[in-house]
Structure 1
Amino acid sequence: MSRLIVVSNRVSAPKDPAAGSAGGLAMALSAALRTYDGLWFGWSGETIETFTGEAKIEDRAGVTVALVDLEPQDVDEYYNGYANKTLWPLFHHRLDLTAYERSYGEGYERVNQRFAEVLAPMLEPDDIIWVHDYHLIPMARDLRRLGVTNRIGFFLHTPWPVRQLLVTLPHHRRLVESLFAYDLIGFQTEEWLDLFRDYVISEARGELAGDNGLEAFGRKVCVGVYPIGIDVEDFMGARDSPAGLRTYDRMAASSAFRSMMVGVDRLDYSKGLEERMLGYEQFLHDNAELRGDVFLVQVTPISRDDVDTYQDIRARLDALAGRINGEYADMDWQPIRYLNRGYRRDQLAGIYRAARVGLVTPLRDGMNLVAKEYVAAQNPDDPGVLILSRFAGAAEQMGEALLVNPFSREELSDAIKTALTMPREERIRKWTALMKVVRDTDVAIWRDDFVQALRSIEVADDGDRPLHHQPRADAA
């Protein structure tokens, strides 16, 4: 069987899967790489004074990883610059935070080319290559320039932006054209795929090529929707583990007969954290009789602290949480527990299970797996209620959640009250429907559907990309 080569900005294959701290995606890809005798390639997270063009090969719990060190300038321009100051805000519709600097684009192109030059000699003729996320959009183009003719797939974990915003990006056409060097492009939702089609047809004068293809820039590419999920059984095992049960007991005891709400989000302006706190503040203002009966645990690990916009939002959230607590807290009750630290999966599962309400309210998100984790952690006989932003990718699948517009603090306030007062029978009905979605979109199904679709693509003998594609009937 041919090898599977996974390429991502950072290699997240766990050194010790038994530790329980690795994410579900890392665990699923690691399992695939062990099955397919594969390789995980990406940045080590370390810097080096002069780029060597060499990769460090390691074994991580049976997974072979190839790690590349970058120069400080690469990290500043490619990662902190183009990836996190240009593409990330643009893809999340934050044009006000998007920085267009020529050096960022140059660094992005340089690092993608360097990655391709290091990876290409490691490839075998029948390998299939799976590239992940917006950091590495040009990767296939650079591999093709080096003569690589293997099947190459790309999966975008973030949203795709509307055409009217994407065209503000200098060299946007070149970026999109580089995607046509792939054989298969996967998106989280139909909405993101539709927006990609709109750009290709309207801006690049492309055409539909059957049910699953697009033709533009003189090439054809296959496209599909592959909604990502969690490792359900593994997560439920973490929930029922000794650490998960201990965490649940601690949180249930600390609730002291109050209803706990939970939000778990990396510190990022796309997650709607300010809007969530303002909506909760509105709830406290509108429902004086319920004050003291509910509190919010907001878990927000710090991320990208080298980027100034993340420093700004951290300061604003610190001030907002302090103001709400200062205005509404009593001697034996604090409305917000704001925690700037991360927790292991088993601990998070225990926290989720103890929460009467799960708040997942991003302003824009590719999928958001916290929504699925929250559902999987619940007690089937007495489940909590999921409040979910209609702008999260998960909303396309999880219609039985309480869908809200996170920009409206009144709507969020009303949803919190509805969730806290929802009868048990209705909570069970909603949870049952949501849990079916979680199981039907398990991360292993996502992984296997994408890999199978990529393998099924037929490529012409001369390496033209691609000849045609016959995916599983339900794969896209």
Structure 2
Amino acid sequence: MTDASDQRLVIVSNRVARPKKKGAAAGGLAVGVLAALQEHGGVWFGWNGKLTDGEATDPEVITEENIDYATIALNEVDYEQYYNGYSNRVLWPVCHYMLDFIQYDAADFEGYRRVNAVFARKLMSILRPDDIIWVHDYHLIPLASELRAAGVTNPIGFFLHVPFPSYEAFRAVPGHEYLLRAMCAYDVLGFHTAGDLAAFETCVREPIIGADFLDDHVIRVPGGQLIADVFPIGIDVAQITDLAAAATGTEEVKKMFRSLEGRDLIIGVDRLDYSKALKQRLLSYERLLERYPDTRSHVTMMQIAPPTRTGVRTYDEIRSQLERTSGRINGRFAESDWVPIRYLNKGISRDQLMGFFRHAKVGLVTPVRDGMNLVAKEYVAAQDPADPGMLVLSSLAGAARELKSAVIVNPYDRDDVADGIATALAMPLEERKQRHADMIDVLRRNDITRWRTRFVEALLRKREFSKPA
């Protein structure tokens, strides 16, 4: 078998996020991709955040340490149709089983296909024959089929960072036949959970593909074979632990801790998105204050919700709902020396966030659907093992498949979430330590290195068994 160390890893995603010494904490995809590239080296290719009136630009390459950041600017109309249009008004809601949010426009679908063709064309200009190509997320499902049509024979893998819907949901998407055929152009398909993989299999069993399922996660599809498997994304546990411990000594974190005046901190960190169920979370916290009066003036909830997809009406409405709901709850329960909810509609630096995590008695992660949710994993890794806080986790987040020692709740049930928070707050130290140790063990076994190496090994294995005898 070819040695992976002799080959360049080329990561492709919608947006390239170059690391910053200070600034908002990176999202899940960026955290995972950067960790993989920092360890392996290679290229990160994608959009640079700039828009043009004309054609997409050629790749601009900036090298930092052992990573080449190759980025392009996109046409403004193309981007609107591809990203805000088909990707986030069609694919995002269906992948999260929220069909009522689908807003389909045929022009958006054409823009989605057009931008994927642009990505393929621009990527080809920097590819080398031995590159291993790893494509990320729902924005770029058609990329492999575009590259194959242009003659690219490199191994190409695809990892989906969001849930994958069963056929009964996916069939509602205009263009789903095209998308399924495009997915079958990849050599390796990766999903977060066994449930997501099983949902994908319901799709390719349909006559659209008519797949045959062989041993060792190999699927025979028209034109060849692919590997489809579960690769749960992880984190760098030691890095998070060290970062959180060091951050407790910073002035920002000490200032926050002093402001609590001895109260227990409940923390949530999420993008402004309907899949995160942030309004429901605030209402569950309100239920906690109703059902457990002794928590009043003794706990503070901090919800950090950085703005996302600004200018999209749905997300503007979520922000408005959160502002109204947090304001109403504060008005109802606040005392002269205590405000129940601290709502921050902004990003904060990664080290500061890890310091906040370490001081939080409860980490509250309650999406109504999530592919994995690295916030849950980072919260656990940031804890002091001698006196750890407790994670309250939605059963509908991918992380719940691994972090079974968390307090698992149904995000649609306010009473269940409120009771889960109360359980976490009252949990004895020895039980918290045991649960934390169990979760840390899982995180170390399925860390970011294992995620990257297993996926690249699968790509290399696919290349080997695809070679003619």
Per the TM superposition, whether the score is higher than 0.5 is yes
CA displacement, residues 365-417 of structure 1 (integer Å, 9 cap, x when unaligned): 00000111111111111111110000000000011001000000011111111
Q: Which moved more, 1:72-81 or 1:438-447?
A: 438-447
1:249 is matched with which residue? 254
Q: How many residue pairs get matched?
A: 462
2:162 is matched with which residue? 158
Q: Which moved more, 1:114-123 or 1:100-109?
A: 114-123
Q: Would you say the 8 A contact 1:132–1:157 is kept in 2? A: yes
2:77 is matched with which residue? 73
Name which of 367, 379, 383 aligns with 1:378: 383
1:100 is matched with which residue? 104
Residue 265 of structure 1 pairs with residue 270 of structure 2: yes
The 2-side partners of 1:159 and 1:30 are apart by: 21
The 1-side partners of 2:97 and 2:420 are apart by: 25
Provide closer, same or farther for how the CA distance between residues 33 and 278 of structure 1 changes in structure 2, counting only shifts above 3 A. closer
The 2-side partners of 1:224 and 1:98 are apart by: 28
* Structure 1 gaps, min length 5: 461-465, 469-476
Query: How many angstroms does 1:347 deviate by?
Result: 0.4
Name which of 183, 189, 211 aligns with 2:187: 183
Residue 12 of structure 1 pairs with residue 17 of structure 2: yes
Q: Matched residue of 2:180: which SS? A: helix
Normalised to the residue count of structure 1, the TM-score between the two structures is 0.93
Q: Which moved more, 1:200-209 or 1:359-368?
A: 200-209
Query: How many angstroms does 1:241 deviate by?
Result: 2.4
The 1-side partners of 2:77 and 2:261 are apart by: 51
Residue 452 of structure 1 pairs with residue 449 of structure 2: no
The 1-side partners of 2:215 and 2:305 are apart by: 44
The 2-side partners of 1:18 and 1:258 are apart by: 28
The 2-side partners of 1:174 and 1:332 are apart by: 58
Query: How many angstroms does 1:243 deviate by?
Result: 6.6
- 1:215-226 matches, cutoff 5 A: 215-226=220-231
1:463 is matched with which residue? none
2:215 is matched with which residue? 210
Name which of 68, 85, 90 aligns with 1:86: 90
1:329 is matched with which residue? 334
Provide closer, same or farther for how the CA distance between residues 21 and 276 of structure 1 changes in structure 2, counting only shifts above 3 A. closer
The 1-side partners of 2:333 and 2:56 are apart by: 57
Look up the equivalent residue of 2:123 and give its one-letter code. L
Query: How many angstroms does 1:30 deviate by?
Result: 4.0
Q: Matched residue of 1:455: which SS? A: helix
1:440 is matched with which residue? 445
CA displacement, residues 325-361 of structure 1 (integer Å, 9 cap, x when unaligned): 1111111111100010111111011111111111000
Look up the equivalent residue of 1:75 and give its one-letter code. Y
1:44 is matched with which residue? 48
Query: How many angstroms does 1:28 deviate by?
Result: 5.5
The 2-side partners of 1:199 and 1:28 are apart by: 27
Name which of 349, 353, 358 aligns with 1:353: 358
Look up the equivalent residue of 1:158 and give its one-letter code. V
CA displacement, residues 410-460 of structure 1 (integer Å, 9 cap, x when unaligned): 111111111111111111111110111121121122112111221222357
* Structure 2 gaps, min length 5: 1-5
Residue 125 of structure 1 pairs with residue 125 of structure 2: no
Provide closer, same or farther for how the CA distance between residues 193 and 19 of structure 1 changes in structure 2, counting only shifts above 3 A. same
The 2-side partners of 1:316 and 1:39 are apart by: 40
The 2-side partners of 1:55 and 1:252 are apart by: 45
Residue 311 of structure 1 pairs with residue 311 of structure 2: no
The 2-side partners of 1:200 and 1:32 are apart by: 30
Q: Would you say the 8 A contact 1:390–1:404 is kept in 2? A: yes
Query: How many angstroms does 1:217 deviate by?
Result: 3.2
Query: How many angstroms does 1:60 deviate by?
Result: 2.8
1:138 is matched with which residue? 142
The 1-side partners of 2:216 and 2:344 are apart by: 47
Look up the equivalent residue of 2:152 and give its one-letter code. V
Residue 342 of structure 1 pairs with residue 347 of structure 2: yes
Query: How many angstroms does 1:194 deviate by?
Result: 0.6
Query: How many angstroms does 1:288 deviate by?
Result: 1.9
Q: Matched residue of 1:202: which SS? A: coil
The 1-side partners of 2:24 and 2:171 are apart by: 42
Q: Would you say the 8 A contact 1:28–1:444 is kept in 2? A: no
State the percentage of identical aligned residues.
45
Provide closer, same or farther for how the CA distance between residues 275 and 244 of structure 1 changes in structure 2, counting only shifts above 3 A. farther
Provide closer, same or farther for how the CA distance between residues 340 and 31 of structure 1 changes in structure 2, counting only shifts above 3 A. closer
